[in-house]
Amino acid sequence: MKKVAVIGAGVSGLSTAFYIEEFSKGKVEIKVFEKEEHPGGKMRTAHKNGFTLETGPNGFLDNKPYTLELVKKLDIEDKLYKSSDKARKRFLFVNGKLVRLPESPIAFLASYVLSIKGKLRLAVEYFVPPKKDNSDESLSSFVKRRIGEESLEKLIDPMAAGIFAGDPDRLSVKAAFPAVWQLEKRYGGLIKGLLAMQKEKKDATAGPGGVLMSFKSGVIDLIDSLIKNIKGKVLTNTSVKKLLKENGKWKIVYEKGDEIFEETFDCVVLATPSYVAASLVKNFDHELSEKLNEIEYSPIAVVAFGFRKKGLDHDLDGFGFLVPRTENRKTLGTLWDSSIFPNRAPEGKTLIRAMVGGARQPQLAMAGEEEIARFTYKDIKKIMKTRHKPELTKVFKHSKGIPHYTVGHLERVEEIFKKVETHQGLYLNSNAYKGVGVNDCVYNSLKTAEAVVKNI
């Protein structure tokens, strides 16, 4: 029987292992190595005093089918938890106030998010010619060119912070927002593209929109179910230290407790962050290691606050809010978790989670937990105009939280994958390369598993 090692038990590693077993019909022996005590990577849930606290993602969107298909295969559809309708209302903190983000173009033009000048600049996008070549550019440069500086600062910068904890001046528009980039390429502009797509949709049988989905006990339900369904071993507290190429096979040197072990495999999937992959491939491909090290990460801290509902001077009626950099606040944004998924807080209580740091202010995410909690609460108090003290505070720090897809990312990844192909039996799969969303991770895991099984 062929042996496959998967290094890293985040959602990418676990779903790759699951799909390899499924596609190979049990003809492959799998071993998953995870350095932490618990599997899940960024995707974990903590339960405390009746609160359900997500350490990273709070769900996935159903506008791509991949996670839902995996859920079906795992037979855990009964655990799915759809976000409440309240979650459709999103807010921005602009000019010192929380303003509801308009949902339709008409409502947008009537809203106070942009000044009249900003709205006019946005409207003339229709006449802005498309960029002639296909070269990459930063999100800021793309947005300024097409819809103007004010839209960048008030709309796009907070969105980049919300998804990537990213810096729009450095994020690649092609890699981070491929659908937006495609609108210009295919239709000549954003307004033209949106109009054309609306027309196309009229003829199509309307599919579901992007609704946020999670699981009844939190995102950990997906991780637990993957673990339960993987027949091979998932070794936790097991850190892979070295990867060696030996006679067409892969020798893994790993540490468990104080002991060092070795084991040889036919094939290895590196489902770790890219900087870990860089350190593991260094001894047999220095160039590949250097390329992998070019992928940057932004630190991020998640700060959960549990409040008593009574006396809280805010109805938390919505998804939460994002904060543009021009507002000079410490938080990137806040999710009203128990409004999105009501069972996240016990009866009479409410749960919010703020995000801090990112590429915008990385040093903030690296401060001590108490300090992070203190300055985040101060921000929340001002923004949400509440004097209520939280009865629960918990900080989750991710020193290398989210990969930052900077300008040139797609070309970098292409070079990386070309180099990887020259090493038979070596695969790379994590959120560092082809998408950071849970859906992207699951899709890329399925594709990696297909390739492993085809080539083994």
Ligand X SMILES: Cc1cc2nc3c(=O)[nH]c(=O)nc-3n(C[C@H](O)[C@H](O)[C@H](O)COP(=O)(O)OP(=O)(O)OC[C@H]3O[C@@H](n4cnc5c(N)ncnc54)[C@H](O)[C@@H]3O)c2cc1C
Residues that bind ligand X (CB under 6 A): 7-13, 33-36, 41-43, 56-60, 239-240, 271-273, 276, 300, 302, 398, 401-402, 430-431, 436-438, 441
Closest distance to ligand X from the beta carbon of 430 (Å): 4
**Whole-number CA gyration radius for the chain:** 23
Specify the residue, 239 or 393, whose C-beta has the smaller distance to ligand X.
Answer: 239
**From the CB of 398, what's the least distance to ligand X, in Å?**
5
CB of 284 to ligand X, least distance (A): 16
Q: How far is CA 108 from the centre of its chain?
A: 27
Burial of 265 (0-12, 13-18, 19+ CB in 10 A): buried
Select 120 or 260, whichever has its Cβ closest to ligand X: 260
Q: How far is the CB of 8 from ligand X (least distance, A)?
A: 3
The two tokens of residue 319 are 């998804």
Instruction: With both helix axes pointing from N to C terminus, report the angle between 220-229 and 66-74 in degrees, rounded to the nearest 10.
Output: 50
Q: Is the dihedral of CA 60, 66, 70, 75 positive or negative?
A: positive
Q: Which is nearer to ligand X, 60 or 181 (CB)?
A: 60
Closest approach of Cβ 440 to ligand X, in Å?
A: 7
In the complex, the smallest distance separating the C-beta of residue 209 from ligand X, rounded to whole angstroms, is 16
Q: Least separation, in Å, of the C-beta of 213 and ligand X? A: 10
Integer angstrom CA distances of residue 181 from 116, 118, 138, 443: 26, 21, 11, 21
Phi-psi region for residue 25, left (φ > 0), alpha (ψ -120 to 50) or beta? left
Indicate the SS3 state at residue 264. Answer: strand
Nearer to ligand X, 184 or 379 (CB): 379
Phi and psi at 255, nearest 5°, equal: -115, 130
State the minimum distance, in angstroms, from the CB of residue 254 to ligand X: 7
Q: How far apart are CA 160 and CA 147, in angstroms?
A: 16
**What are the CA-CA distances from residue 351 to residues 2, 140, 218 (Å)?**
47, 33, 14
Asked if residues 456 and 4 have their Cβ atoms less than 8 Å apart, the reply is yes
Given the complex with ligand X, which of 152 and 441 has the nearer CB atom?
441
Smaller CB separation from ligand X, 113 or 438: 438
Closest to 417 in 3D by CA, of 381, 444, 439? 444
Question: Residue for token digits 């807080």?
Answer: 345
Comparing CB distances to ligand X, the nearer of 42 and 291 is 42
Query: What is d(CA 352, CA 304) in angstroms, rounded to the nearest whole number?
Result: 6
Nearer CB in complex with ligand X: 61/312: 61
Instruction: State the nearest-atom distance from the C-beta of 282 to ligand X, in Å.
Output: 13
User: How near is the Cβ of 105 to ligand X at its closest, in Å?
Assistant: 26
Helices of type H across 41-189: 66-74, 105-110, 116-123, 139-147, 149-151, 157-164, 173-176, 178-187
If the CB atoms of residues 82 and 117 are measured against ligand X, the closer one turns out to be 82
Tell me how far apart the alpha carbons of residues 68 and 439 are, in angstroms, rounded to a whole number.
Answer: 9
| Closer residue to ligand X in complex, CB, 380/436 | 436
Quote the Cα angle for 158-388-354, to 5°.
25
